[in-house]
């Protein structure tokens, strides 16, 4: 399962997403879009959104941190 989290250091919901993944022992790749313009472009291309977090779970794009939606995508 491939999980990518696009985030920024000051984003509260990004921290909540990271905490959720860590507490549930879910491996994920994290990209800080404030430091990586290439990943920021990739995020916008995938989601059509400028806001974070954007979570990509096997190609399913979730904008924001919605725990129940993330749990469904992980199943």
- 26 lies in a domain? no
Q: What is the pLDDT of residue 33?
A: 97
Q: What is the pLDDT of residue 1?
A: 74
Confidence band for 64, pLDDT divided at 50, 70 and 90? very high
CA distances to 49, 64, 69, 71 from 38, in Å: 15, 20, 27, 28
HSE, side-chain direction, 13 A CA sphere, residue 58 = 7
Percent of the chain with pLDDT over 90: 97
Q: Which domain holds residue 41?
A: 33-75
- 21 lies in a domain? no
- Please count the structural domains in the chain: 1
- 74 lies in a domain? yes
Per the CB < 8 A criterion, the answer to whether 8 and 50 are in contact is: no
What are 19-62's pLDDT values in tens digits? Answer: 999 999 999 999 999 999 999 999 999 999 999 999 999 999 99
Phi/psi for 23 (5° steps) reads -65, -30
- 58 lies in a domain? yes
DSSP state of 71: H
- 57 lies in a domain? yes
- 16 lies in a domain? no
């Amino acid at each position: 399962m491939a999980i990518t989290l696009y985030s920024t250091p000051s984003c509260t919901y990004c921290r909540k997403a990271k905490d959720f993944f860590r507490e549930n022992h879910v491996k994920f790749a994290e990209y800080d879009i404030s430091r990586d313009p290439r990943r920021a472009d990739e995020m916008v291309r995938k989601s059509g959104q400028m806001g974070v977090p954007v979570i990509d779970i096997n190609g399913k794009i979730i904008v924001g941190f919605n725990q129940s939606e993330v749990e469904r995508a992980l199943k």
